[in-house]
Amino acid sequence: MERKYRRDLASRSVDVRGVRESAVDAWPDGNTQELEAIWDRIIEDLGSDYDGCSNVSSIGWAA
């Protein structure tokens, strides 16, 4: 990407304790419908516009 199009983005942290187990089960099964539903539940807690979080390039999981 050309430098003129780059911008600094703030990272966000979200507690996913309520959906973590479901995501861990869905991931190896390739259950993308369940993962999408889980993602929708997670972004509801961010308190921002849906479009601001609907296009994500990566998600990091930490234990």
Model confidence, pTM: 0.59
Domain residue extents for the chain:
15-54
Note the pLDDT of residue 32. 94
Query: What string of DSSP letters covers 2-60?
Result: -GGG-----------TTTHHHHHHHHHHT-HHHHHHHHHHHHHTT-S-THHHHS-S---
Given a cut of 70, is residue 62 above it in pLDDT?
A: no
Note the pLDDT of residue 8. 76
- pLDDT one-digit tens code per residue, 5-55: 877 767 667 777 888 889 989 999 999 999 989 888 887 766 666 655 666
* Contact criterion met (CB below 8 Å) for 37 and 3: no
- pLDDT one-digit tens code per residue, 35-47: 989 888 887 766 6
